[in-house]
Amino acid sequence: MQNTINDKTWEIGGKTLSSRLLIGSALYPSPANMEDAIKQSQAQIVTVALRRQSAGENAGGNFWNIIKDLNIHVLPNTAGCHSAKEAITTAHMAREVFDTNWIKLEVIGDQYNLQPDPFETLKAAEILIKEGFEVFPYTTDDLVVAKRLADVGCKIIMPWGSMIGSGKGLSNPDNLLAIRKQFPELQLIVDAGIGKPSHATQAMELGYDGILLNSAIALALDPVQMAEAFRYAIEAGRLGYEAGVMQERQFASPSTPTIGTPFWHQFD
């Protein structure tokens, strides 16, 4: 269901939100800086990697207290998993720790470019959905993989813009557009590769429902200011999509019509 321009709310995973930015919680210079950036972004979903930050570690106590005090939705993820079995086990742990059926499913198949394994991802997604999870699968911009994930019951799909942490933006915007057109009823989130606010705007102008990012904010010289920049970029992109972005043309077209005689000739 498409929102009207005046209605900024949207639904994902059974929750009604106003922000379309999903923000990560890793790589910040400090926990305090992370907290300030998340607040400035006005994001209502924060991702947390359970395998990279144990909730039981005393050293991480401050981190977990901050996440809890932010009072926003937590999206646990299975980062660091390389098989369906690992991902499913991590998802079960996350459901107990965070008391949520949401899970960002990430099963890495190649350590060089961190490309997700489509076979293990699909296997894990099918099992987790049957077990009552709301699965947010991270995948490439492959239309066939997206179709298979939809076939097993995924209502949300998160194709990458480009490789994780690359900052390259949208490597294949035509692929992303094809996925959007093929699945108008699904919630689609661009996850990974977004490096600057203009990349996020471009993705939103394609009709995507949201952007999940981490490195572009956390590694900025000023993460708090960058979080604000992405917030406005995503809003602008969505408004542009809803308003109807001008289509590209092959030839020039004057913005001022040349009809009749210029008005100043009337005074000759």
pLDDT digits (tens, 9 = 90+) for 232-250: 999 999 999 999 978 877 7
**Mean pLDDT over residues 194-214, rounded?**
96
Instruction: Let me know: does 196 contact 225? Beta carbons within 8 Å.
Output: no
Q: Which of 104, 155, 181, 196 is catalytic?
A: 104
**Mean pLDDT over residues 88-110, rounded?**
93
**Mean pLDDT over residues 151-157, rounded?**
97
Question: Which residues lie closer than 8 Å to 209 by C-beta, 6 or more apart?
Answer: 10, 12, 20, 187, 188, 189
And the tokens for 113? 């470019």
Helical (H) or strand (E) element with 69: helix 61-69
* Residue 53 exposed, middle or buried by CB count within 10 Å (0-12, 13-18, 19+): middle
Q: pLDDT tens digit string along 15-70? A: 999 999 999 999 999 999 999 999 999 999 999 987 655 444 444 567 888 888 89
104 is catalytic: yes
